[in-house]
Amino acid sequence: MLINLTTRTIIVLAGMACFLIIGTVFGLSSLFKDDNGAALSGSEKSEATAQQSTSGKSQTPANMQTFVVYKYNDPQAGMEAFHLLIPKGWEADGGVTWVANPALPAQFHFRFYHPGGSEEFDLFPTQAYFWTDNQLFLSTNPPGSLRFGTLVAAPIDLHTAFSKVIIPNFRGGVGGLRIVERKAVAELAALAKGAPAPGVAAAADGGKIRIEYQENGKLLEEEMYAAVSQFVIPLPGYFINYWYIDYIFSFKAEKGKLDSQSKIFQTMIYSLKVNPPYFAKVANVKEQLAQMAIQGIHAVGRMGSMIARAGSEMRADQQQAWEQRQQAQDRIAQNFSDYIRGVERFNDPLSGKEVELPAGYGHAWANNLGEYLVTDSPGYNPNVGSNLHWEPLPPVK
């Protein structure tokens, strides 16, 4: 009876919180405002950047920042997964790993970094767990074992998640690491908890820490964000709990420079946009895996064909859940500026959308490649000496 009830709840959880489908990237893409510029792949981005830098002949202001669009195409899904703005000259590492896990079939891990410096923005994979107080189940599935691809482990609080999971997994090799600050982030907790679902008791805690450590001979500081969420389903005589360490992302720079880079980091995360057909494909793979788990069918070795067969069009229920989630997260995003500060909103006439760019420059431009430029020089015109078409961006009133 426990097996049937436990696998049934996988289906329940599949529809109750869209962001749990692949974790941090989907949640942040809705939390922070998106741009609608033309999407370029990493190689396309490099070509456009080189062309612009060699063709420009006008005098470049000292205080200027250009952003280009980075797009990630998932080779297994055969489509764009997401895109975002990154500073011109920055590079990206990482990808999506597909696993036969009904809780999280697609895991994101990306690093966006300045190759000539220490500035870096990281998206870390969601950590998924299963727990119950059913002692019979635990006698055959003890902590440390896998349940339908999900690790069996007792839930932990956010403080322990940072110190015992996130830091050891993602910063375990650095020297002299110490935590210098902790702070709650209620908005992350609200996102991680999600919308109410019948028969599920949800709870979440969100926050951030600032750490310092030595790496490659430099003293770095990094601000890491995360949320711990629990989804408890009471059953006759016991409960089951699917819980997650999610929304794990960070910004880092040399000590003393992190705060001054906050505008750039915020622009990057505000511009992150997930491709809805990709969301649908992942959701459909998730449902297939859950059905196979119920039927006792092993999915290992079948992921490639499952991904290829999975549809990329949203059903009506998926579309409704997607839209409701975005509306809720947009409302939360309005209050998030206390934690990540320093952007202004501009109207982009080329895309017909609003875009968030670093504050304090006063002047912003967009081109037909989906790139953006901010400067404090009122007389600078990027069209001079360029073969690209740039449009000035009026601020949102």
* Per-residue pLDDT tens digits for 64-78: 889 999 999 999 999
* Per-residue pLDDT tens digits for 99-139: 888 878 889 999 999 999 999 999 999 999 999 999 999 99
pLDDT at 34: 34
Query: Chain-centre distance of CA 286, in angstroms?
Result: 18
Sheet holding 273-274, edge to edge: 273-274, 79-87, 64-74, 372-375, 363-367, 390-392
Which stretch of DSSP H or E encloses residue 344?
Answer: strand 343-348
Judged against a pLDDT cut of 50, whether residue 28 lies above it is answered with no
pLDDT at 328: 55
Judged against a pLDDT cut of 60, whether residue 41 lies above it is answered with no
DSSP E strand stretches across 48-156 = 64-74, 79-87, 91-98, 106-113, 120-123, 127-132, 146-147, 150-152
Q: How far is CA 171 from CA 165, 216, 250, 254, 257, in A?
A: 10, 13, 11, 15, 19
* Per-residue pLDDT tens digits for 176-229: 999 999 999 888 898 888 888 889 999 999 999 999 999 989 999 999 999 999
For the chain, the structural domain boundaries read 2-343
Instruction: State the burial class of residue 204 (Cβ atoms within 10 Å of its Cβ: 0-12, 13-18, 19+).
Output: buried
Tell if the pTM clears 0.85, that is, is over it.
no
Judged against a pLDDT cut of 60, whether residue 152 lies above it is answered with yes
Q: Helix, strand or coil for residue 147?
A: strand
